[in-house]
């Protein structure tokens, strides 16, 4: 994986020293909160319901074991013993003290990490496919291109005060595992008819209060023009994106209002101009980056067979292990969704265990997924049983990937100052309702996502079943939506009807699964059945009046 | 009653105006009444507490209860981690919030 050069390290170290001085001046009373707030936000330090919250960037979700171990140590040393992995492949700490924040940034910098651009109206952490570099279905590892974009977007002077925040995802397979078309820019690395690599640009997607699926703006940008075309996309947005209304300031609104043709026309004009300016980094820079993401030294004799004699291991293998491009290896997803647990939360001991497993079994690499799980990308199949036993002993052996128990949930009103309702208790109740492995197995793939407010950090628009928490005259209320999907066939969920209270929404979810189980045809997932039969059968079941006794 | 709340500058902890300073415990909160704006202005100038604001609440049986669930969660801590709240030993704490 990528290693900082002297410029990267100097930038991060300088920022730590700068923030240390800003923090000192704030505590001494030399800065007001209005003056200090934008400075702390530039360093990922929010003020949430109970304390300061620090959001740490994990570029394209990739970590090494030393970094992961430091994340665990930070949880112990500065927080309350746990961290929260987020839907943007980052980690958040919920109980940070202001005067210790610079020390945390220094600890992060010691392992080439930071919290820069995890807040504010700038280009945020670049996200990617959590299986990058390991998936059998990718045409190339997308991470060198994500890294190039990271370098371009870090401290980019033109794009530090955009109309709103800006999120970019990069993938390189037809199976979209990064919700690419629900980003401000989604980039898919593709091959053209001549076999050359390039990028398809999808621009203007997003969730939030106005969810939109990004339209294809250009189907092929040569790889040696990736940065120039990205710059053109951002420039047009920066020029015309609305700054008068934060709810209409995202690029999706601009693309929607002027139309993709007009937006594309303006981007092409800007692109043509920029090509004359020579802003593309030299190809030598990309050639410098690519070897950092070279395949690890696989054991070419690793056996492909799996001993399935332990049924619990076999269940976990079938559920949580994914095909690897290298025979004899598997991609392991560690579920951070135990029954009744808090999605994405991990205690420090678990974080350090996952670091150790990466060091011992996965060429020192881990990934954070946007579904709030952790991936060991390169595990020999012969080692899987050992890995699973260690995970299971630590409470990390839950076999529920992409099932109804693998719930995405934002922190919600338990932690977040923007939330209208709690998300986590719903996730806990639903996972408990569907705790039986045979029940989950019968339902199969069902992606359930919960947001505690319209900002949609829990991706509810993209859930096969989505839940949105709202404030109804001071009381939590939950809207149910069906039919969302974040994959190659991205779709947005539709609201079923009136909302529910906390218990009612759990019942409504269960009734939805009952409709699916009774109506499905062979091989259909929940989403397939919904798309075939439509909303009505679900509504009838969900809103059916209970018979009156007597 | 009108309650004043904010977050302590250094720790970020939720605090409540107790008449002379800021307390970690909501039961210490006093009715700021028509002095709320003046107190907030003074305290804002002192720069010890962030983003202080006034909310409605009630007092009954010696307990102050903020009117809105968001402030009740702020007062106690996350409902999903009772071990991290200010009253981890109180079995009734959760129902007080909801």
Give CA–CA dist B24/B86, Å, rounded: 9
B46-49 long-range contacts (CB < 8 A, ≥24 apart) are B47/A29, B47/A32, B47/A33, B47/B9, B48/B8, B48/B9, B48/B22, B49/B6, B49/B7, B49/B8, B49/B9, B49/B15, B49/B22
Q: Say if B65 is an interface residue toward chain A (CB within 8 Å).
A: no
Under a CB-based contact definition with an 8 Å cutoff, are residues A373 and A334 in contact? Answer: yes
Q: How far is CA B92 from the centre of its chain?
A: 18
Q: Residue B88 pLDDT more than 70?
A: no
How large is the angle between the packed helices A143-153 and A226-240, nearest 10 degrees?
A: 50
Interface mutation vs chain A, best among B65, B76, B78, most A CBs within 10 Å: B78
Give CA–CA dist A312/A494, Å, rounded: 36
Q: Which of residues 69-88 of B touch A (CB under 8 A)?
A: 69-70, 73-74, 77-81, 84
Other CB atoms within 10 Å distance of the CB of residue A103? 16
ipTM for this model: 0.94
Confidence class of residue B89 from pLDDT cuts 50, 70 and 90? Answer: low
Strand order from edge to edge, sheet including A321-323? A62-64, A365-368, A374-380, A329-334, A321-323
- For residue A24, the chain B residues in CB contact (below 8 A) are none
Cross-chain residue pair A98–B11, CB shorter than 8 Å: yes
pLDDT tens for B32-63 read: 999 999 999 999 888 889 989 999 999 988 78
B62 burial class (0-12, 13-18, 19+ CB within 10 angstroms)?
Answer: exposed
Give CA–CA dist A139/A91, Å, rounded: 29
Q: Say if B93 is an interface residue toward chain A (CB within 8 Å).
A: no
pLDDT attached to residue B46: 87
Q: Which residues contact A508 (CB under 8 A, 6 or more apart)?
A: A480, A496, A500, A542
- For residue B97, the chain A residues in CB contact (below 8 A) are none
> Of B38, B61, B49, nearest to B16 (Cα)?
B49
pLDDT attached to residue A548: 65
Q: Say if B58 is an interface residue toward chain A (CB within 8 Å).
A: no
List chain A pLDDT tens, one digit each, 550 residues: 999 999 999 999 999 999 999 999 999 999 999 999 999 999 999 999 999 999 999 999 999 999 999 999 999 999 999 999 999 999 999 999 999 999 999 999 999 999 999 999 999 999 999 999 999 999 999 999 999 999 999 999 999 999 999 999 999 999 999 999 999 999 999 999 999 999 999 999 999 999 999 999 999 999 999 999 999 999 999 999 999 999 999 999 999 999 999 999 999 999 999 999 999 999 999 999 999 999 999 999 999 999 999 999 999 999 999 999 999 999 999 999 999 999 999 999 999 999 999 999 999 999 999 999 999 999 999 999 999 999 999 999 999 999 999 999 999 999 999 999 999 999 999 999 999 999 999 999 999 999 999 999 999 999 999 999 999 998 999 999 999 999 889 999 999 999 999 999 999 999 999 999 999 999 999 999 999 999 999 999 999 987 666 4
Give CA–CA dist A328/A330, Å, rounded: 7
Give CA–CA dist A455/A474, Å, rounded: 18
- For residue A476, the chain B residues in CB contact (below 8 A) are 69
Of B12, B73, B80, the CB nearest to A52: B12
- For residue B51, the chain A residues in CB contact (below 8 A) are 33, 47
Cross-chain residue pair A415–B78, CB shorter than 8 Å: yes
**Which stretches of chain A sit within 8 Å of chain B by CB?**
26-27, 29, 32-33, 47-52, 80, 95-99, 342, 413-415, 419, 422, 424-425, 428, 474-476
At B4, phi and psi to the nearest 5? Answer: -110, 135
Give CA–CA dist A246/A430, Å, rounded: 34
- Domains of chain A in start order, with CATH, are 6-109 (3.90.480.20), 127-291 (3.30.413.10), 311-393 (3.30.70.3340), 408-542 (3.30.413.10)
Tokens for B75? 């007062």
State the smallest CA–CA distance between residue B84 and chain A in angstroms. 8
State the smallest CA–CA distance between residue B61 and chain A in angstroms. 23
Tokens for A132? 């990058």
Of B10, B11, B73, the CB nearest to A49: B73
Using CA coordinates, name the residue in chain A closest to B8.
A51
Under a CB-based contact definition with an 8 Å cutoff, are residues A146 and A126 in contact? Answer: yes
pLDDT attached to residue A550: 47
Other CB atoms within 10 Å distance of the CB of residue A78? 17
Q: Say if B89 is an interface residue toward chain A (CB within 8 Å).
A: no
Q: Say if B24 is an interface residue toward chain A (CB within 8 Å).
A: no
pLDDT attached to residue A549: 62
**A185-191 and A168-171 beta bridge pairing:** parallel
How large is the angle between the packed helices A526-533 and A502-519, nearest 10 degrees?
A: 80
> Of A523, A480, A515, A481, nearest to A501 (Cα)?
A480
């Amino acid at each position: 994986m990528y290693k900082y050069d002297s410029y990267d390290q100097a930038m991060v170290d300088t920022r730590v020293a700068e923030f240390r001085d800003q923090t000192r001046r704030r505590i001494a009373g030399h800065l007001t909160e209005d003056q200090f707030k934008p400075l702390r936000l530039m360093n990922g330090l929010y003020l949430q319901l109970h304390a300061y919250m620090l959001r740490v960037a994990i570029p394209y979700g990739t970590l090494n074991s030393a970094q992961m171990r430091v994340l665990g140590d930070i949880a112990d040393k500065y927080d309350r013993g746990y961290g929260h992995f987020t839907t943007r492949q980052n980690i958040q700490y919920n109980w940070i003290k202001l005067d210790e924040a610079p020390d945390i940034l220094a600890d992060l910098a010691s392992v080439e990490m930071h919290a820069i651009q995890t807040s504010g109206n700038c280009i945020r952490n670049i996200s990617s496919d959590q299986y990058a570099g390991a998936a059998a279905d990718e045409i190339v590892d997308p991470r060198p291109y994500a890294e190039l974009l990271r370098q371009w977007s870090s401290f980019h002077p033109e794009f530090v005060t955009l109309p709103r925040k800006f999120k970019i995802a990069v993938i390189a397979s037809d199976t979209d595992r990064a919700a690419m078309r629900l980003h401000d820019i989604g980039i898919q690395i593709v091959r053209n008819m001549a076999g050359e690599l390039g990028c398809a640009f999808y621009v203007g997607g997003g969730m939030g209060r106005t969810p939109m699926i990004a339209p294809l703006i250009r189907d092929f940008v040569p790889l040696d023009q990736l940065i120039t075309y990205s710059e053109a996309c951002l420039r047009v947005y920066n020029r015309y994106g609305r700054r008068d209304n934060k709810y209409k300031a995202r690029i999706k609104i601009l693309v929607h209002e002027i139309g993709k043709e007009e937006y594309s026309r303006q981007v092409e004009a800007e692109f043509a101009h920029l090509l004359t300016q020579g802003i593309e980094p030299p190809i030598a820079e990309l050639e410098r980056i690519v070897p950092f993401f070279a395949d690890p030294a696989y054991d070419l004799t690793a056996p492909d067979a799996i001993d399935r004699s332990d049924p619990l291991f076999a269940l976990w293998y079938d559920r949580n292990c994914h095909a690897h491009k290298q025979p004899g290896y598997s991609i392991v997803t560690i579920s951070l969704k135990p029954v009744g647990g808090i999605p994405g939360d991990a205690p420090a001991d678990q974080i350090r265990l996952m670091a150790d497993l990466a060091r011992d079994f996965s060429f020192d690499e881990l990934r954070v997924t946007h579904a709030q799980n952790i991936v060991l990308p390169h595990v020999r199949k012969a080692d899987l049983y050992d890995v699973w036993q260690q995970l299971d002993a630590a409470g990390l052996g839950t076999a529920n990937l992409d099932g109804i128990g693998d719930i995405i949930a934002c922190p919600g009103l338990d932690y977040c100052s923007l939330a209208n309702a709690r998300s986590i208790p719903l996730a806990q109740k639903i996972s408990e309702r569907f705790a039986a492995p045979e029940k989950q197995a019968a339902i199969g793939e069902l992606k359930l996502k919960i947001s505690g407010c319209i900002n949609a950090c829990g991706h509810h628009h993209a859930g096969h079943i989505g839940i949105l928490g709202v404030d109804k005259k001071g009381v939590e209320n939950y809207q149910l939506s069906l039919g969302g999907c974040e994959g190659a066939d991205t779709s947005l969920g539709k609201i079923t009807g009136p909302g529910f209270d906390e218990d009612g929404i759990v019942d409504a979810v269960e009734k939805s699964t009952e409709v699916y189980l009774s109506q499905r045809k062979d091989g259909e997932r929940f989403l397939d059945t919904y798309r075939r039969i439509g909303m009505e059968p679900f509504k009838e079941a969900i809103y059916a009046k209970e018979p009156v006794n007597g | 009653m009108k309650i004043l709340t904010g977050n302590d500058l250094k720790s970020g902890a939720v605090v409540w105006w107790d008449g002379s300073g800021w307390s970690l415990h909501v039961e210490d909160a006093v009715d700021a009444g028509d002095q709320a704006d003046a107190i907030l202005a003074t305290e804002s100038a002192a720069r010890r507490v962030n983003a202080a604001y006034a909310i409605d609440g009630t007092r009954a049986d010696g307990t102050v209860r903020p009117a809105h669930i968001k402030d009740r969660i702020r007062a106690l801590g996350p409902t999903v981690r009772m071990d991290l709240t200010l009253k981890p030993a109180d079995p009734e704490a959760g129902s007080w919030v909801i």
